[in-house]
A and B are shown apart, each in its own frame.
Chain A
Amino acid sequence: MARVVVNVPGQAKRGEVLEIRTLAAHAMETGFRRTQLGELIPRDIIRLLVCTYNGVEVFRAELHPAIAANPLIAFTTVATESGTLEFRWSGDNGYSATQSVQITVV
């Protein structure tokens, strides 16, 4: 189950800097570990997080091995207009998760 959590202030003043916090449930298996029998555990990580604000990309993060499980990614953007923030995570083995949040700018 692709469980994600996004925390964005629901309302903001125009020009205000918003702090956005995202959390995604993921094991982030590095691909370097081995089982007790010596077999390599295949890599299984989130590769990309993209955030768009009314269709315009405002943040992009590429993730790599050795990032902890359940990555918390926090970033900021400037509140310009009311609308939708869309978050899209994608990764190995067809992992994909989306979340969208409404924001009102006054």
Chain B
Amino acid sequence: MKVLLLAALCLSLAGKAVSEEARKSGYDFMSPQTQAMQNDEVTGPAALWLLDGEASFKGNCARCHAEGSMKGVAARYPALHRGKLVNLEQRINACRVEQQKAPAFAYESRELLALASHVGRQSRGLPIRIEVNGTIREYLDRGKDSFHRRQGQLNLSCTQCHDDNWGRKLAGSTIPQAHPTGYPIYRLEWQSVGSLHRRLRNCLTGMRAENHALGSPELVELELYLMWRARGMKLETPAVRP
């Protein structure tokens, strides 16, 4: 009887996702000093990328897109573009290739990160809105599956840390809930701005799992699931993380 009860208790605890009200941004887990860096919009470290992005937008994009017209855009990506799931960076590159007839920026290049930061900045404070309809559902299911699937030499899944053990320590660092609310982020460990895919690859390396290329469909699907999981939370782009 006792064994049964224990088993039932374990089952009810396993795979427990965070309820919508209990969700916390990575910001809430940071020290006040790091939070102050993110709050400082003028001389925070991401300002350097924002200024580059603004200049690049004026030079390349302003002929079609009015300044400030990108408000809310970052909050609804990844989304479908010509029948394919793309994230914000890939959508910017698609615009470059299709409309400007210019070569695409390399995925983790400073130019692309700067533009994505500038576009993302205009959605700061807006809730994430991922619309799930039609084929998006299939991509979302695949992303959800990869979040919950055990993988790598350590046989870990994302959910074991980020749903079951958030708030606890992994080595010296607090495990956050993995809500991608502030990308591209200035990460202190990187000493620069980087994309969500760079961050996801860090995690997969730590799990000793097979990694995916920056901008690969697998990572975009996972990004879609994470954004859907964080739906309604406010964007902080460009955020600062330790």
User: A residues near B, CB below 8 A?
Assistant: 1, 3, 5, 7, 21-23, 25, 27-28, 68-70, 72, 74
A21 CA to B42 CA in the complex, in Å?
Answer: 9
Residue B18 at the chain A interface, CB threshold 8 Å:
no
Q: Could you say which of A23, A28, A68, A69 contacts B47, with CB atoms under 8 Å apart?
A: A23
Residue of A nearest to B186 (CB): A70
Q: Could you say which of A5, A7, A70 contacts B51, with CB atoms under 8 Å apart?
A: A5
Q: Could you say which of B42, B45, B48, B192 contacts A7, with CB atoms under 8 Å apart?
A: B42
A23 near B52 with CB under 8 A, answer no
A3 near B48 with CB under 8 A, answer yes
A5 CA to B43 CA in the complex, in Å?
Answer: 7
A69 near B52 with CB under 8 A, answer no
Residue B191 at the chain A interface, CB threshold 8 Å:
yes
**Chain B, range 164-203, C-beta contacts under 8 Å to A:** 188, 191-192
Residue of B nearest to A72 (CB): B43
The 4 A-B pairs at the shortest CB distance, nearest first, are namely: A69-B191, A21-B43, A25-B48, A23-B43
Q: Interface size on B (CB < 8 Å)?
A: 10
A23 near B48 with CB under 8 A, answer yes
A74 CA to B45 CA in the complex, in Å?
Answer: 13
Binary flags per residue of B106-141, CB closer than 8 Å to A gives 1, else 0 = 000000000000000000000000000000000000
Residue of B nearest to A28 (CB): B191
A30 to chain B, nearest CB (A): 11
Jot down 27 A-B pairs with beta carbons below 8 A, ordered by A.
Answer: A1-B52, A3-B48, A3-B51, A3-B52, A5-B42, A5-B43, A5-B51, A7-B42, A7-B43, A21-B43, A22-B43, A23-B43, A23-B47, A23-B48, A25-B48, A27-B191, A28-B191, A68-B188, A69-B191, A69-B192, A70-B45, A70-B48, A70-B191, A70-B192, A72-B43, A72-B45, A74-B43
A70 CA to B191 CA in the complex, in Å?
Answer: 8
A70 CA to B48 CA in the complex, in Å?
Answer: 9
**Chain B, range 11-66, C-beta contacts under 8 Å to A:** 42-43, 45, 47-48, 51-52
- Which residues from B are CB-within-8-Å of A74? 43
Residue of A nearest to B190 (CB): A69
A5 near B47 with CB under 8 A, answer yes
A1 CA to B42 CA in the complex, in Å?
Answer: 19
- Which residues from A are CB-within-8-Å of B51? 3, 5
A48 CA to B48 CA in the complex, in Å?
Answer: 20
A28 CA to B51 CA in the complex, in Å?
Answer: 20
A52 CA to B42 CA in the complex, in Å?
Answer: 22
Question: A5 and B191 in contact (CB under 8 A), knowing A22-B43, A23-B43?
Answer: no
- Which residues from A are CB-within-8-Å of B45? 23, 70, 72
A72 CA to B45 CA in the complex, in Å?
Answer: 8
A11 to chain B, nearest CB (A): 16
A70 to chain B, nearest CB (A): 5
- Which residues from B are CB-within-8-Å of A72? 43, 45
Residue of B nearest to A23 (CB): B43
- Which residues from B are CB-within-8-Å of A1? 52
- Which residues from A are CB-within-8-Å of B52? 1, 3
